[in-house]
Structure 1
Amino acid sequence: GYAFAKYTFPAGTALFSVVLGSIMVPTTALAIPTYLLFAGVNLTDTRWSVILPSLVSPFGVYLMRVYAADAVDTQLLEAARVDGAGELRIFFSVALRLLAPGFITVLLFTLVATWNNYFLPLIMLSTPEKYPLTVGLAQWQSAAAAGSGGQVLFSSVITGSLVSIVPLVIAFLYLQKYWQAGLATGGVKG
């Protein structure tokens, strides 16, 4: 997103249009090709088969482009270039600090989307010990309902669902300080 916002390069607009177009493709439509791709490299029934597809986020690229366009001042980048800093140093020393609130936002969006993803782990994983809590609860619920003549375990499933959101709440509370620091960045006049 930072590169799309701050650099001009050949086919940059076309490449960004492809990223925007990929946002419109539902992830369920990519489930079978993703499974076939991971089966080809023997990564099915591993945790990587759930983690790796979640690392690619076209919405995250779009959000970071929009955020970087306003958060990182072009004059600040030019001043760093005049001082002799290279592009990597400018990114890691100047831009990344200014992009922290946007980066944390994309991280949390991706974390919640991955944590709540039901379909991808269901098709990628076949070992019940590797199921995430959401898939494991649903499988346990369906097995219990089928084995006991249709008795539903609502209390256990609801308790498990409550427990499953605890890591998300902890992540939000921990990462909240980065949002607050980002809000206060422009509040002091130098």
Structure 2
Amino acid sequence: MGAAGPLMARPCSVCSHPDLAAIDRALVNGDPYREIAKRDPPVSVSAIQRHRVDHLSPSLRVLSAVAEHESGRSLLEQLSNLNDRVLKILDDAATTSKPSIALAAIREARALIQLSARLTGELDERPQTMVINLASTNEWTEARTAIVRALQPFPDARNAVMRALGGGEIDVIESA
């Protein structure tokens, strides 16, 4: 607690900037932080870096970039182009020994792969329901036959079990 009450984080200067949309677009396009800071004073380079990490979601980056591309291209083409750019950033970061940029590029590549998989149907996160009709399986038929054969010496018990299983009274033909 500070002298005047609980400590609170300062609001993001980029989020409250009048040209927030232009700054976000520049970040999505991969413009250097220094160029963005020069174009949009009084925002600092460090504020832009923090904003990109803390407030610009991967999905917003993808959606913003997709919206900026020409409308004639398919969504998957656009995602592929974005992925190419992300992989180039990853390669550049790896060759210049910038692990934080490399990790950010890896996160973006993963998000693009996930989105592509959802769009193509390769990744379906909806709950899956599988209905199995046990009565139609070979295992059930074999088990039922074994039960009926085991109860052959006890016709009343056999008929009661068959009624309980929904089979009514049936005769089992013994195979020799």
Task: Provide TM-score, normalisation by structure 1.
Answer: 0.30
Structure with the larger RCO, 1 or 2 (CA within 8 Å, 6+ apart): 1
Larger radius of gyration: 2
Richer in helix (by share): 1
